[in-house]
Structure 1
Amino acid sequence: MNGLPMFPTILVDITGSAANIVFSFLSLWYAFRLTRLKPDNFLWGYLFYVTLAITAFAISRAVGHLAKELFYIFGQIEVWQNIAPYSGGVNTLCMISVAAVMIFYHKGVQAYEAIEQEAAKLKQSKIRLTQTADQLKELNLSLEDKVEERTEALSKSERKFRHLFTASKDMVFFTDQTRAIVDINASGLEMLGYAFDATPKLQLIDIFRNQGDVDVYTRTLAMYGYIRDLESEFKKQDGSTIYVLISATALYDEYSQVIGSECIAKDLTRLKNMMEQLVSSEKMASVGQMAAGIAHEINTPLGIILGYAQLMMDDFEPDSETYQNLKVIERQTRASRKIVADLLKYSRQSGSARVAVNLNEIINDAVAITEHNLNLSHIKVLKDCADPLPTIVGDPEKLRQVVVNLINNAHHAMEDQGRGELHLSTRYDSSRSRVIAEVRDTGYGIADHIKAKIFDPFFTTKPVGKGTGLGLSVTYGIIQEHGGLIEIESPVMGPDNSQIQGTLFRLVLPVAEETAAVREEPADSWQTEGRPHGAGHEGRK
């Protein structure tokens, strides 16, 4: 009698085992997705662990069947007989884990009970919220009546002053006996830089720049009952200053005691700025006349020094030390004559060289000029210059003067500290086709209220005899002449938006393609000669 073939049985066993593995993983994946949809649902979590245990059991069984069939196919029956007990043991452990998970079914019941308790709590909370809403509704009806009565009383009083208060273009405000501002018009808020949507809670000390002016204001009202044409300084919300002319009247109670004041303040800032600009213009005119008068007197001895230096250079070999010293005298004399020419620009227009300039070379020259004085003050120079750097078109003498002025200003800001760091950097901004140079110090910085004045002629924070107040004014004019911008940061914003102590000046200049056509530089230009090392050059700010 012939036996039946085993191939169909083996094929079915292998296919079923493989399908068992696939469907087990699909069930586990589906259970996992359910837990992700509702992570706080205990039942879905419980179902996931049950599925995980059953999947482990199914995979263990399926892998055992596959291994058995493969060993039979390849004639390794003895091997299977050796490992079969272990496979059965794994199956038993997996079955035990399934049973253990199922034992915790009561945890699911407890979870449902917890959910029911939470639902009951939420229901009670809803009832309490409904009761609270009813109470608020009743309170709101009573409050509306009170507000209506109060509003009517206030309207009668407000109509007396409405037109003057709201239509005035000057600041109008009222104070009480505690120096608090109880009301202020829209023009006043605008003058102080506050929003119109709500009246800020301000004290007189909040708007007066000086405490002494507050005392004068209060004392004068108490003594005379009024103030007429008092000039003072007000402080805006952003910290800036406006100049005002104050007229005020004291308010009294039935016992003739001062209970406050009413005040009108007229903004004089624009008028004061115009007067300052007028004074500045007169100073500029005086400088122009002075420069025109002394230019000949200064240039004459400089010309003699330059001529004698050039004559003496013919008597020495180019490699000699004396010749090199005379060369330094020649260079510095030419630079001095250039400085005089810059000063003459305050009285008349003059031309300037237009050549291709590399800002890295300008910075290196400026450092060479000032490094001796910087070293004496223990100031460390750190350079971070991009290389290669596109050239710009400009006057190298003037640009060198700009960098030297900025370095000397940074030196002045740090010399009292006995140490410091001077950071010089250049980079190319391809998005704007601009070359950017930055000069940053670690000094005491610039106060906000003088930032807007630092480029004004004759404005200086240095002691008398230390500066003329022309350095940054000349610097600003030179950068504008080159089609660039000069920006200032103090304190400096770091890469992580943190504030760094010190001041940063940023020069933004167009690359050569965007400036005027280049022409040849005069033969006596400093650019074609060697760099002076250790030579002094004082900034003019």
Structure 2
Amino acid sequence: MQELSKQYQKLIEENTTLKQKIRKLEKSAEGLRESGTKYRTIIQNIQEGYLETDLTGKWIFVNDIIPKLLGYTRRELMEMPNPIGRLQTEDNAKKSYQAFRTIYKTGKPLKSFEIELIKKDGSTGNYEISVSLMKDTGGKPIGFRCISRDITERKMMERALQESEKQYRMIVENMYDSIWTMDMDLHFTYLSPSEIHTSGYTPEEVMKIPVEKLITPESHDVIKRILGEEMDLEFGGGPVDLNRKRIIEIELNHKNGGTYWQETTASFIRDENGNPTGIVCVGRDITARKQAEHDLQTARDHLLQAEKLSAIGQLSAGVAHEILNPVNIISTEIQFLKTMGNMPHEAREELEICMSQIDRIVAIADGLKHRSSIPEKRMEMANINDVITDIMTLHKSQLMIDKIETDLQYHPDLPEMLMDRKKIEQVILNLISNARSAMEGKEKKVLRISTDWEVRHDQVRITVADTGCGIKSEHMLKIFNPFFTTKEQGKGTGLGLSISYGIIKDHGGKIWAKNNKWGGATFNIIFPVKTSHEPS
């Protein structure tokens, strides 16, 4: 009996302990239910989509956001065998299958994976999902857990941006203007393919060449000055126009060894705070325009020269007449004095000096009369090579005495043309005489004369170059003016080039001068090829 009482008491204690454990389990279950409800509520209300699948791909749970995004009801999605596979194209479904298979094999979550799903209305949406493997308490895989974010709007913006960039790139790469960008240290960061049309260089070649090698020294100085001004404006403390631009004309070196001109519009590239981070430039080739401006200015200079010579010619006619009348009387009186006997030798020498100066005055007056009169033309067919050859033959010995080397380069097929041969000979002689004078005292004396036939323009070019002292820039526009000379007093009348200018103009041609690479001057003459008396 006593033994039964002990067993009964033990059962009561075990029953009490069991009831306590049950109460604890019930309380823990209630907490789990509350926790599950809490987390379910959070999952249902987040903006991201959340779903759970079994290993076959069937969805076993989805939050409210996913049906709203796809247009299906929760029930429709839950009844689909494999929604992620069914709502994608075949190629995209294969990619998704491979991604899920990799997660299953490795157990490693996939943090970012983009998929495109077909909605119920046939439209598509883009989603970024992260996937992890679900396991039971024993660690066995039982499905997948996915969190998705709708990136449809972002992808649309990216596609629009890509399309816009594609269009702008197509425009940039097919336009003739050059576009390039540089950092603030003037290192190229981009050049458009059109660069090869303007400079002859490919963009890759330009990237390897320093800026100072691509631009002529004068233009490089201009760019440095303008950049300095812009930096002063930018960081000088005053108000800054963030949209300002500078338009400059620069001369650049071409790959073929020549130069070309560009009109360049430059502005700063700025960051989100408006601070300059680089420079963007758009350059347009204006070489033809610059040449046209130069030709126009040359034509204006020639017109002004012609007007000046015409006015001086009209004035010189009367001046020459008035000068020669008293000079003739003085000359007659001096000749009479020379016939007188018992004249001291010194006095006779002085009279000779006076006569030589009178002869000079007469020569100047004759030159003035030539400028004001219309001389009779003796036009004949001749080859300019023959004219120059005859002149050089006559002056060969004098050039040798002066120790002047000659370099003659004749075009072999020059056509005969109508000219006043004597007058053209006078022009060539004047240029040779000026070249001899310019090379006095020079160690290296070379007279270069060449001819060329510019078939496209049907004109002949004559070039006379020396290795003298060149022409000062302030004298360049005056050299064809009557009486302008840089020679010492008594060594020139200043009419040679003026008369030559008139002769060439009468032949319908042009004459101009420039300094050459040998340090001297080069005179260029262009004649239209004429075979009959045509108007100039």
**TM-score clears 0.5:** no
Bin of the TM-score, shorter chain as denominator length: 0.3 to 0.5
> So what's the TM-score if we normalise by structure 2?
0.42
Quick check: which one's strand share is greater? 2
Quick check: which one's helix share is greater? 1
